[in-house]
Structure 1
Amino acid sequence: MHIKKADIFGFGKWVDHTIDFTDEPFICVYGDNESGKTTIQQFLLFMLFGMPPKKRAGYKPKMSGKMGGRLTVDDPEAGEFVIERLHDVQNGKAVCYTPDGQEHDETWLQDRLKGMTKETYQSIFSFSAVDLLDIRSMREEELGEVLLGIGMTGSNSIHALEKRLDAQLGERFKPFGKKPEINQQLASVDTLFQSLQQYRETEGDYRNKKEVLQQLNDELGQLQDELTKSKDAIFRLEKKRQALPILKEYQHVLQQLQTYPDPFSFPEQGMKRLEQLNEKLLPLRSELSVLRHNLNEYTSKRNAIWNSFFDDAVYEQLESILEQKQQWLDVHKSLNGYGETIQKLEWQIHAEMEQLNVGITAEDLQWLQLPFSAEKTWNQLKSDMDQVMVTKEQLEEEHRQLLKEEEYLHVQKDKQQASLADTEREKELQETVHQYHRQKQMLHDQDEQTWNWDQLKKQKEKQAAAWLTGGIAAAVILSVLAFITDRMTLLGISGVILAASIGQWTAGKRSHREMERMLVSKKPASGEITENEKQEAEKTLAANDEMKQELSIVQEKLRSNEMTFLKWEEKKSGLEQRENRVQRQIKEQWKQYPFLEQMDSAHWPALFHPLKHVLELHRDKQRQEQAYEQQLQKSRHFDERIDHFFHELKWDIAGKSTTDKVKEMENVQQEYWNGLSRIDQYDEWIADTEAKQREVQQKMQVYDEEIAHLMDMAGTETEEAFLAKGKQLEEKQNHAAKMSELDNQLARILPGDDYERLPAMELPEEHTLEANYEKESDRTSRIEQELEQKRQERADIHAALSGLESSESYSETLHRFTTEQEKLERLAEEWAVLKSAKEILAETKRNYRRNYLEQAIEKTTHYFHLLTEKAYGKIYPPEGTQSFQVEARNGIRYDVNELSQGTIDQLYVSLRLGISEVMSEKHRLPFIIDDAFVHFDPVRTKRIAELLAGVSEQQQVMLFTCKPDVMDAAANVSRADSKSSIRIPLS
């Protein structure tokens, strides 16, 4: 199978990406780390073998909702086809498209892969540098065994299974052990057997009696077998006598059953299905009849309602008149309201005029006007007069307060001047505060310097530790190289590096201690200002400042008091002028409204609103009378329109009020609306009934078609013929059932071998059965008598032995011996099963060696010979605990662990290539290698590239690498950059 192209819709970091693997068999995919090479490998494995949902979730693209792609492959048998897998389609199952346009499923793809699984593929046709690391991390004695396990199964499961079997065998038995279960059980059984022998030797004739007892048991066994055979013969004869009538009936029913045709063409459960279809059709036919009757009735009632209506113009005029009904009702309601309001206003005006009693009559209301300015003027005059009186009182109280305040401020001024501190004391306190702040700033600077030194110290200590660790590591490496290469100069260099590292580390420690001593020495000097002294000074200064502010405020208040005295005198002069002006304005209002002269100006504002209210009531009464006349005209117009409508329809209006006429018109309109509603309901019922009728007819058609299909299957044209044929089938089934019933009866009666010969059995004669039965009965009686005699003899011997074995110790020992012996047999059986399993596993491995390992080692030797330029001629596979060995050109053998890392990797690569070539005779799948040449020098890398080019002639090879030297070594093959979708051919 050859991979030609990969179209990645979305997989990990790859989205809408195409990789062309061309027709070249050897391809090198190059890219830096994290460039997506491993993702491409996983995509190829996903397309070929699928992937579980949880693992697929890890490769869902971050920037796209699609996950999956297409893989174009060329198969020698199926030709070129495309594999498509999508995460959210069929749970990630494959869909294959062949050139003929057909689609195939996952099973078809597995057939193309010949049953190859992902795990088997990775163990045979794929490996990476990680596999080499796993091999090198194992113990030396296990390396050869694990390599063999990889060749056999692709994992070390056989190796682990063999170790488990060895462990379980060791737990059960060891030839010279004491703790295993079987060893302990053998010791226990041996001890009990010796005790049992001591009890038995006490009786001289115990063995002779046991031999006689054994002989009797053998004879009883033979007699019992003869008795069993005789009774079995009697039993068979008895069963044949019992089954004879049934056998006769069985043959009779068999002859009748053979008269019916075979095969019998009739549908499965045809009679029942026909009956069920007719039962389903019967209610449908009844329902269809009911629906047709309902349809006719709905149509008739609808037409009758429609014919009972007036012309549309009548209903339109009726609706137009009734739309004004509410207006007419509102007009009547308004007329009643207006009449009541006018009467109430007349009573209210008369009552309020009497209450005012200011000399104003109802006739005066016609000419009296009270503008808005009158209220304002009256309120202003009242307010001005009130303010004049209040201001007089305030000025007198203010004069008294000014005199008291002036006296108080002079007293406060004298007290504050006596409490102030002198200037020298104030300066001393200020210096104390300043000295404390300078001291605080110095301490802060010192703390910041200490913190900076701690950070620098940690950084320096980390650098010194790194130098020391690096120096020790370099010294150790150089020392190891010195012992390996016998170059003592390297040992001297390692000592110099180690001494320099330790010296650097010691010098750093010494400088840190000196710096710390220097920082500790910078402590603040004694005799500095304390926190309490500073707070006391600040408190005293604040109290002195506060006293200064209070003295300044008192002085300012004294100046303000003097200014207030001057303002008071000005206010008194202004008040006298204002009082004269208010008196002149009051006299002017007397001239305009003569009735005010009888009242004090203080009551004028209270008179304004009651008088204004009376004037508003008078005007409201006039407006109500005008509105009453307008509503009366509207009512008369509505009455005339209704009378005209009744005259046109020639309806009787004698003795009817307007309300009765409107109610009659509403009844006619309601009947019209109800009729329309019933018509709509009938239209809906008619449509629903017609739809149901069509639905029932469709259901009946389905059942009719099924009945016709049953007739066709039975080969009949009418139901009568169908029923007749069904009855014939029923008779045949009854005979078959009877045949089965008789067969079951015979199976219960006859023994197994007689029942098996039933079809070919000839019916025996009844007298022959009786004669044979009598003969076997006589033989049975004779054997039973002889058995009874032998049993008596055995009972006598048992009685004699019971006396010898009556001791309780002997019985207990015998019971324990039997129990322990059974346990030993069970443990031995388990040990034998495990031993057999181990032998089968060993035989399987030997078979594998004989069948495949020789070919694999031969191929491995060939590749290893080429990679090492014939430096090693032969490879010897592991035997027992011995690992792989190689033979050099000079004939010296080397264990695999004696080789260099690069040579071990060459051996492992050669082994994988050899195994792949042997296994690929059936599976021609691409060989995938992921940076497995990390320990190869340029020469070896060039050789492996040439070798893989040769392998690619028979099998496609894909090499994934991030090493430029590996890419350059593969310069003669096709190369694809993992960062681009375009293949780069190299010359």
Structure 2
Amino acid sequence: MMKLTKIDIIHFGKLNNVSFNLKDSLTVFQGANEAGKSTTVAFIKQVMFGFYLRNNKTAPYFEDYNPLARVSPMGGSLTFEDGTDEYILKRLYVKGDSKKGVLTVSLNGQQVPEEVFFEKIQNIGPKFYVDSFIFNQDTLREITSLSQEQLMERIYFLGAAESSKLLDLRDDFDKQASELFKKTGRNPEINKLLKEIDKQTDKVSAASQEFEQYHQLDQQRQNLEVQKQAVKNSLAQVEEQVQKMNTLKQQITNYRDYQNLKKQLRQIAFSQVDFDKAQTLELELKNLNVSLQKLIQQFDQITVTLGDQDLSLQDIVNQKAQVLQWEAELKQISQKTTALQNELDQLQAYQPEAFKLLVMSETQLQELKDDYQKAKKQAREQATNKMQNLNVIGIILIILGLLLSWLVNPISILLSAIGAGMLGLNWYNLHKQNDEVQAFKEKYQLSLDNFDYNEAINQMIHIQSKQQELANNQSSQNSLESNLQEVAQKLLNAGYSVDSVSQIVPILGQVQNKIDNFNQAKQHLQDIKLQQNQLKDEINTDQVKLNKIYVKNKVANLEEFRELYNRVKEQEKLQIHVATLQNSLKDDLEQLKQLAPNEANFMQKQKQVNNELANKQADLNNLQEQIARLKAEMAQLADSSLVFDEKQALANLKSQLRERSIQYLANLTAARWIAVSLDLASNGRFPKMIKSAKEYFKLLTGGRYLDLEVDEKIKVITKTKRKYDIQYLSRGTSEQLYFALKLAFVEQVADKISLPILIDDAFVNFDNQRTKYIVQLLKGLSSKVQVIIFTQREELAESLGNEALRLTEKGEAK
């Protein structure tokens, strides 16, 4: 059973980017109106058979499902499984494609021609698939609109492909035939022509006398025509004989050439194979000798170029890595020395006090420290509140003494004296302290406000360390420069010009290249020597082979071999010429052997034949003149009567009758042929199909109808043995009968065409009981063929037992 297992919709109608996986043989799609059920059915149908056929009058059963949104591409794919094989049909349409779109078919992951799939389904067409495998309201309306006779025919011929179309075609042929002729009719065209022919025959009979005279003249003309044809036949024979003799005359010359050339033919012993080998060996020997001479020249040139080269600098070259390291270290130390010097210059600019300490001894530094501490201490005392308090107290005492002076009291005088004394003492101390700070500044040339002894000592130590580091760098730099100078001196001694140490590495590279070139040249000399020996061996081998070939063919050299070859070619050309002449002579060869010795007799006979040809031509001209005179008399007689016009009219009528009769018989035959073809196509499956249909109809009606009787009309038989014509059945029962017959047909062809049955809302007229019956039937049928149901009825989807695929009104799956 071939099963549809996956539906992928890219853009189709209102559906976009939707995918369905069909796991079971019985699948249900459930959704409300406008949810996309019919769109999905149309998608399956059109991916298999093509898009945009709605405009095609031969396929009105296809709908136009352009995407609602302006998107591209339109279409998608269907996946079918047939046992272990998987078919994927992908059909897409973009602007510019054909109306059917572009179909690609894959079998087990490999693209194959589309015929591979359609041969699998017996190359059925879209009309057959729609008629046989799709159940919807359109097909139900079509079947209920048929007459009893039309329904009988469509049921009987359901086993034949395109049966409905063929039946319509048969009816068209029958109609066209009846419009041309009827046995008792008056208006059909053939009936009218028969009457007109009778009338025209009477007119021709009335002119019998003139017609008889014309007939006599025509008989004479016919006799002369017979004589004329006999003379023409005889003339043709003589002309053929003349042509034959002319050809033989020309062939006699060719025959003589043929004989002479045959005498020049010779048999020459020659071997094309050996000649080709000899040429090849001569060319190889020439090329080998040229190559050998080139190698000898190369060897001599290299030997002269090498001479005696001094390779004593190899040890110095080996120090190249060490030299590179020294240069790198020297560069790094030089950069570091510059950085240290810059740092010391900056320190001297911003810390000059520290550089003054560098030149002092330890005793001087200790004395500086003591003087600094004393001066710093006195400077702090100057800034303390003690002095300020003495000033304030002194001033207060003086003011109190002045206030009490009006009392002329000894206390006031004492207070003023004490206050004045305190002010004087404070001034003395302050003056003394300023003298010590000034003495420190003058002794050391340092400002106490900007100088910090501890900070200066730390900076001095830092500067000493940098100076020591600078001295170390200078020592290392001197050592490295000494090493590089030593290498440079060795290169100078070897004859190389070294202006600076930076040239050492490039010069060492030159020395290394020189040594490498020397070694390569020595190796090259060895290789050339080996190649020379190999070429000499090849030359000797080829020369031996070449000598054997020359001895075998009895020539001394290639020049003699070429002369032999040219003679052979001349003989071949001669043989071709002889064969060409022999072919042109063909069957005349034996006759020419006899004619060539007696050419005079042949010429005499040719003259006789030419005279006979002239006599025959004269006889023919005489007969043509007599026939022309008779025709003139016949033409005159025809102008004076209506006999020929009447005969022509009668002939035209008979011609029309013949054409219409052929058309009538063609239509009649076509209609009968279609009927016989349908009988033959349906006769095999029809009985089996009716048997299954009876069982299905009994099941669908719950046993209310037990049998079907199919004769000239279809009758259904109830369980009470009563018979009814189908025109008296209810719409629902008619649809049940239609389902039974059509499903029985699908079952019968399942061994050849196994495709899914698509049922699109075909149960709208079924009540709950009838729905149960159809559910039971479809479950049983799904074991033989795949069944896919599209419905808006939730209870139907639930009764089928499988989880339904839901479609929303937006065209989405959930």
TM (norm. structure 2) is 0.48
